[in-house]
């Protein structure tokens, strides 16, 4: 796990080494163990290393092939590097390190761009083929590792985090107002957008190539992998369970390969408990596990984690905290680079901090809910979608009446009351989207937002038109919610503390098996994730695991009435704060009064206002005159084929 950065300028020019060094240094938290910069012609590569495999200096990056004509920088891990190395050595390649990164360099020599399809891991990497004057960039299939870029008349720049791109002296401070509106509507910036007009994100499962001698420079983006549900009704649930058991066990074993101390997050839920059970199967000593809890018993899952740890015989570390959201907010604003509205970033940040005091690598259960239908909203929106499709008043009334039976029912009922009947509309409302949240925004931000996100979700649903509703929901989650929210949260929180987090449930072979599992094998009348439950019960007594699902969250509504209330009061009283260039201060004050007096719950729009305010302070941005700026359209959609873009 590391940080990467790079500069590509016009042919005949040379990158500014001081700028590249500053970009690379800004990523030191991702890689505190070593740093390197390489400039060849109009290309500059920078790397910060967190040493995990082969701790010697010979494995520092950029790392090349035998003659140095191929150079690689990698953020992430290649879990099948040993098998790739054996295959490449049999073909005559000579390795000089034990690093997983070197397998990419030799793999490029052997297979060219097709090397990305052979990699099993989490990655954002760059291959510089200096002999052919070509650069190839790729991001892993499900988006575990980040990759941002900026394309302008000056050239092409890329980095693991936006903060590195902000080191460019010529970069604009113009916001993308549509992205800002998305944050208030959904809690995060999604897809190819970033909060800054000039910065874009390479989507998961995509690669990008660029000819260093092109004039003008042009780059091509191509999708090499996409989650494609293909339910196979010929196999029974038992056969799927056995195959899943084998694939998950192997995925865990591969992720335990490290030359540094290793452990696991343990919440006591299905996913993390199963991962730890497999680790115990492969380990030669007690597995180190980590959990945090809150003093508020309604949000404290530490006892569940402790019970599972005792049963599996782990070396368990537990810290009970009352998360000091007031103190953490400014730091989180700097960590995430963009406004990020998921309040579970607080316990995630604290868990990573605690874990890094003991180990350098931690395995987690992320991905289980998305791949194996773990969210309550799957069952809820699926049932309501069936009812709402009935073209009778009775059917629509039944759907509205049933909405209150499910955890996300308030949003779903509101959607049904407004006549929302399409699958994508129900999906959005089950996810927590409410147009009511947008009423706090200034008109210019609402206008810039438009309905781009809803239209993208609708297109994603349409792309999977031949699938059952729940399979479509899962696929859309894996394209959007997982990479844009869940994995962003974990990557930034963990790398702030130089902790590598590995996700066996997001292994590509596990994901491709999950794509074949019919939803009826996964969702029962009262439970979800039936296959994972079946496997977990083999290792942990079901009485330790069977309890209502609770997300890794915080008592947000209470905090906004107590710990965070003074911050909101001061913010609303400060009429000159830049956040009021984006949000209607009167409307925010009105909602805060309703919330703290218990007459309603506006936790999320209030929280997002506070998060945005702290982010604006962290970047020192003045919003005066912002409303008159032009909204930049998104790049064209990425489908199966590549498309060319010329730099301005």
Read off the pLDDT of residues 337-376 as tens digits, 9 standing for 90 and up: 999 999 999 999 999 999 999 999 999 999 999 999 998 8
Is pLDDT at 645 greater than 60 in this prediction?
A: no
**pLDDT value at position 637?**
35
CA distances to 253, 299, 453, 635 from 79, rounded to whole Å, are 10, 35, 34, 32
Annotated catalytic sites, by residue?
2
Read off the pLDDT of each residue in 177-196 and give the average, rounded to a whole number.
90
Average pLDDT over residues 143-161: 94
pLDDT at 420: 52
The predicted pLDDT at position 364 comes to 98
Name the range with the highest mean pLDDT among 385-399, 426-440, 512-526: 512-526
Give the per-residue pLDDT at 635.
Answer: 37
Q: Is the CB of residue 430 less than 8 Å from the CB of residue 408?
A: yes
Tokens of 541: 């007594």
Answer yes or no: are the C-beta atoms of 6 and 16 closer than 8 Å: no
Give the pLDDT confidence score for residue 79 in this predicted structure: 97
Mean pLDDT of the chain: 88
Q: What is the DSSP letter of 296?
A: S
pLDDT at 394: 56
pLDDT number for residue 579: 94
pLDDT-above-90 percentage for the chain: 65
Pairing of strands 43-49, 34-40: antiparallel
- Interatomic CA distance for residues 49 and 16, integer angstroms: 21
- Alpha-carbon torsion angle 549, 551, 554, 556, nearest 10: -90
Q: How far is CA 360 from CA 325, 355, 488, in A?
A: 25, 8, 19
Planar angle of CA 84, 286, 361, nearest 5 degrees: 45
Higher pLDDT, 546 or 435: 546
460 pLDDT band, cuts 50/70/90, is confident
Q: Is the pLDDT of residue 132 over 70?
A: yes
Pick the range with the lowest mean pLDDT from 195-209, 611-625, 634-648.
634-648
Three-state secondary-structure class, residue 146: coil
395: pLDDT confidence band, cut at 50, 70 and 90? low
pLDDT computed for residue 647 by the predictor: 44
Write down the pLDDT at residue 625. 57
Q: How much is the pLDDT for 640?
A: 37
* pLDDT value for 313: 96
More confidently predicted of 232 and 489: 489
- For residue 15, the model assigns a pLDDT of 97
Q: In which band, very low, low, confident or very high, does the pLDDT at 538 lie, cut at 50, 70 and 90?
A: very high
| pLDDT digits 0-9 by tens, 588-616 | 999 999 999 998 889 999 999 999 999 99
218-223 and 63-64: which strand pairing?
Answer: unpaired
Average pLDDT value for residue range 135-140: 98
The token pair at 109 is 């020599």
DSSP calls for 321-351: E---HHHHHHHHHHHHSS----TTHHHHHHH
Which residues are paired to 156 by β-bridges? 8, 151
Model pLDDT, residue 84: 98
- Residue 563's pLDDT is 86
What does the pLDDT read at residue 276? 98
Chain-centroid distance of CA 355 in Å reads 20
The answer to whether residues 631 and 214 touch, using CB atoms and an 8 Å cutoff, is no
E strand or H helix that includes residue 201: strand 200-201
pLDDT at 88 over 50: yes
Q: Which of 118-132, 436-450, 563-577 has the lowest mean pLDDT?
A: 436-450
Coil, strand or helix at 263: strand
Higher pLDDT pick, 316 / 185:
316
**CA 501 to the chain's CA centroid:** 12
**pTM given for the model:** 0.91
């Amino acid at each position: 796990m590391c940080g990467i950065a790079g500069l590509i300028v016009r042919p005949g020019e040379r990158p500014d080494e001081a700028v590249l060094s500053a970009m690379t240094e800004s990523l030191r938290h991702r890689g505190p163990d070593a740093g390197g910069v390489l400039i060849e012609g109009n290309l500059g590569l920078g790397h910060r290393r967190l040493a995990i495999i082969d701790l010697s200096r010979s494995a520092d990056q950029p790392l090349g092939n035998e003659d140095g004509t191929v150079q690689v920088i990698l953020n992430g891990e290649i879990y099948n590097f040993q098998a790739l190395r054996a295959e490449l050595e049999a073909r005559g390649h000579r390795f000089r390190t034990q690093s997983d990164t070197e397998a990419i360099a030799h793999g490029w020599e052997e297979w060219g761009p097709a090397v990305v399809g052979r990699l099993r891991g989490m990655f954002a990497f760059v291959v510089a083929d200096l002999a052919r004057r070509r650069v190839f960039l790729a991001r892993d299939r499900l988006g575990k590792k980040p990759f941002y870029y900026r394309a302008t008349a000056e050239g092409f720049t890329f980095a693991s985090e936006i903060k590195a791109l902000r080191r460019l002296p010529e970069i604009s401070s113009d916001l993308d107002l549509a992205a800002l509106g998305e944050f208030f509507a959904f809690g995060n910036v999604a897809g190819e957008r970033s909060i800054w007009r000039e910065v874009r994100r390479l989507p998961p499962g995509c690669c990008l190539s660029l000819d260093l001698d092109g004039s003008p420079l042009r780059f091509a983006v191509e999708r090499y992998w996409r989650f494609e549900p293909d339910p196979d009704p010929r196999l029974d649930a038992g056969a799927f369970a056995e195959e899943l058991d084998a694939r998950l066990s192997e995925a865990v074993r591969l992720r335990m390969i490290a030359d540094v101390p290793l452990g696991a997050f343990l919440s006591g839920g299905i996913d993390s408990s199963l991962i730890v059970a497999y680790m115990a199967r492969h380990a030669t000593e007690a597995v180190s596990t980590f959990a945090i809890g809150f003093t508020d018993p309604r949000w404290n899952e530490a006892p569940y984690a402790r019970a599972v740890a005792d049963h599996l015989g782990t070396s368990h570390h537990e810290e009970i905290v009352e998360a000091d959201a007031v103190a953490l907010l400014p730091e989180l604003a700097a960590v995430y680079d963009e406004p990020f509205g998921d309040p579970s970033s607080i316990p995630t940040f604290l868990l990573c901090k605690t874990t890094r005091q003991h180990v350098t690598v931690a395995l987690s259960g992320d991905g289980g809910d998305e791949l194996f239908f773990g969210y309550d909203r799957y069952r809820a929106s699926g049932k309501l979608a069936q009812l709402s499709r009935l073209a009778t008043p009775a059917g629509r009334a039944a759907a509205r009446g049933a909405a209150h039976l499910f955890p996300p029912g308030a949003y779903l009922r509101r959607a049904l009351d407004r006549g929302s009947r399409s699958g994508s509309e129900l999906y959005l409302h089950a996810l927590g989207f409410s147009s009511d949240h947008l009423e706090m925004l200034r008109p210019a931000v609402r206008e810039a937002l438009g309905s781009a996100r809803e239209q993208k979700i609708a297109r994603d649903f349409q792309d999977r038109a031949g699938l059952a509703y729940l399979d479509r929901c899962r696929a859309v989650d894996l394209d959007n919610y997982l990479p844009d929210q869940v994995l962003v949260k974990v990557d930034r929180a963990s790398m702030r503390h130089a902790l590598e987090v590995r996700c066996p449930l997001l292994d590509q072979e596990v994901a491709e098996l999950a794509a074949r599992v019919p939803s009826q094998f996964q969702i029962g009348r009262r439970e979800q994730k039936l296959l994972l439950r079946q496997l977990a019960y083999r290792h942990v007594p079901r009485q330790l695991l069977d309890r209502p699902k609770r997300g890794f969250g915080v008592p947000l509504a209470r905090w906004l009435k107590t710990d965070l209330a003074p911050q909101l009061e001061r913010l609303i009283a400060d009429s000159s704060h830049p956040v009021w260039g984006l949000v209607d201060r009167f409307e925010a004050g009105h909602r805060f009064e309703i919330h703290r007096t218990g007459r309603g719950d506006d936790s999320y729009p209030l929280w997002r206002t506070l998060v945005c305010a702290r982010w604006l302070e962290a970047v020192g941005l003045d919003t005066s005159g912002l409303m008159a700026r032009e909204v930049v359209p998104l790049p064209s959609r990425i489908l199966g084929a590549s498309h060319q873009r010329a730099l301005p």
